[in-house]
Amino acid sequence: MKLVYTFLVFLLVAACKEPVKPIGDKQITIFKDTNLYFDMGFKNDSIQLNDSIIRLDAGRVLLKKVMLPIYKNQPKVTIKMTLTSNGDPWDKSGSLFVIPATADLNLLDFESENLKKEQFENGFPGIVSQEIDNQIYQPNIELLRFMTPFGVGFFNDNERVASLKPVYIPKWEENIQWEQDITQLLPVLENEVYIGVFIDTWTKEGYTISVSLEFDESEIPKHIKKEQGVISIVNTSKYAGAQQFYDAFHKGDLQVELPVEETLKNAKLYYITTGHGGHSEGDEFTEKENIISLDKKIIKQFVPWRDDCASFRRFNPTSGVWMEKATWKGEEIEERIASSDYSRSNWCPGSDVIPEIIELGDIAAGNHIFTFSIPEAQAIETDKINYWMVSAYLVYDK
């Protein structure tokens, strides 16, 4: 009888508990029709104009402090981006990122020279977490990897471009749009944070971009937000002038230490990788195996590759075009092919890049080591610019 009474009291208390008040869906604009371009005038100073945007690395990185909502109910988080060429005709690598709010030192410290490359343990500063003078540096967490198409939107009315339009596309597109569900990154997308974008442009025209975050709150009763954490593991992308393209995979593995104080439950590693090197037989155009290990045990082994790049042709008006020989009905013919059509190392001109998700289960307290390997990666040599953009972060339940 006493047990039944206790159970009834528990039900009564639970029923009387005030439900969590929803705050509703939110759309946060990060950038709106913003011009990102290269200008040496930005090189000597981190210039902040009247638009509250900080311009770094000669204008190729834009950084903005934003206030994001804090939910108690579970939301879905979507990142959306629209890009148009503002006169840059090339395909370029790009990255949307957030600076971890828990970092004592970050990207801004590179630009202010509070951090110097000599303070880091290897020749590639800022790619992994490191303690420096009792402060912790953490690399950026990538929200979205993308690749700009060749000249999307800006060159559509150019006479030469019009003459090269394939018959199988109805028109050149005005822009390119990407969106990804990044709900797993909610723990680092709350309150006040810096969100930035990098595009590897070298032109004074650059690109026009718009970026937003959408938070869609669950309407399911008592769907309380899942308590999770995010740890930045590695990011080899070049976000600061003091950094450089990462070509060291040809020398050996990249090892990252992970000290764990309490068990990380249901851990998942999100891994984003793209190979670059646009010359013949460069890492961009040749298949290279990626191997990821945790404590010397392989957890993922695959060749990152995209062979559907021709499907992005309508976004690439200024792509180079030439003739290639082919066989049709037993006869040799010549067929036009665009450079944007060629298969590449996990990307196409105009594509975004979907993270590989590696389920790890529970990671016990103690010291662990992630190892990232691309055994056949090539080095940068004169005009052969081979490098890999690799980023990874860990998501776990609390």
Q: 381 Cβ partners below 8 Å, 6+ apart?
A: none
Domain locations along the chain: 21-397
Q: 292 Cβ partners below 8 Å, 6+ apart?
A: 269, 271, 298, 299, 300, 301, 358, 370, 371, 372, 373, 392
**For residue 128, pLDDT beyond 50:** yes
* Sign of the torsion formed by the C-alpha atoms of 150, 154, 158 and 162: positive
Which pLDDT band holds residue 13 (cuts at 50, 70, 90)?
Answer: very low
End-to-end CA distance of the chain: 36
Give the pLDDT score at 12: 47
Euclidean distance between CA atoms 327 and 334, whole angstroms: 8
137 - beta bridge partners?
A: 105, 130
Give the pLDDT score at 152: 98
pLDDT above 90: percentage of residues in the chain: 77
For residues 126 and 240, is the Cβ–Cβ distance under 8 A? yes
Give the pLDDT score at 9: 45
For residues 31 and 211, is the Cβ–Cβ distance under 8 A? yes
46 or 375, higher pLDDT: 375
Q: Which CATH number does the domain 21-397 belong to among 3.40.309.10, 2.102.10.10, 1.10.3720.10, 2.60.120.1570?
A: 2.60.120.1570
Give the pLDDT score at 247: 96
46 or 65, higher pLDDT: 65
Tokens 């105009």 belong to residue: 350
Average pLDDT over the chain, rounded to an integer: 92
Which pLDDT band holds residue 130 (cuts at 50, 70, 90)?
Answer: very high
pLDDT in tens, 104-124: 999 998 877 788 878 887 789
Phi, psi of 343, deg, nearest 5: -65, 150
CB-CB neighbours of 44 under 10 Å: 8
Return the DSSP state at 12.
H
DSSP sequence for 216-238 = EE--STT-BPP-EEEEEEEE-S-
**For residue 68, pLDDT beyond 90:** yes
Which pLDDT band holds residue 47 (cuts at 50, 70, 90)?
Answer: low
For residues 54 and 66, is the Cβ–Cβ distance under 8 A? no
Return the DSSP state at 61.
E
Give the pLDDT score at 4: 52
Least confident of 98-107, 121-130, 194-203: 121-130
Q: How much is the CA Rg of the chain, to the nearest whole Å? A: 24
Label residue 350 left, alpha or beta by phi (over 0 means left) and psi (-120 to 50 means alpha): left
Q: State the burial class of residue 191 (Cβ atoms within 10 Å of its Cβ: 0-12, 13-18, 19+).
A: exposed
DSSP sequence for 300-313 = EEE---B--GGGGG
Q: In the sheet where 290-294 sits, what is the strand order?
A: 254-260, 366-373, 290-294, 297-302
Task: Using alpha carbons, select from 188, 166, 199 the residue that is nearest to residue 77.
Answer: 188
DSSP sequence for 180-221 = EE-GGGGGGSSEEEEEEEEE---SSS-EEEEEEEEEEE--ST
pTM: 0.92
Give the pLDDT score at 382: 87
For residues 85 and 34, is the Cβ–Cβ distance under 8 A? no
For residues 238 and 195, is the Cβ–Cβ distance under 8 A? no
Mean pLDDT of 24-53: 83
273 - beta bridge partners?
A: 390
Give the pLDDT score at 242: 86
Give the pLDDT score at 40: 87
pLDDT above 70: percentage of residues in the chain: 92
Least confident of 86-95, 181-190, 327-336: 327-336
Give the pLDDT score at 119: 86
pLDDT in tens, 273-328: 999 998 889 999 999 999 999 999 999 999 999 999 999 999 999 999 877 767 77
**For residue 42, pLDDT beyond 90:** no
For residues 77 and 218, is the Cβ–Cβ distance under 8 A? no
Mean pLDDT of 71-77: 97
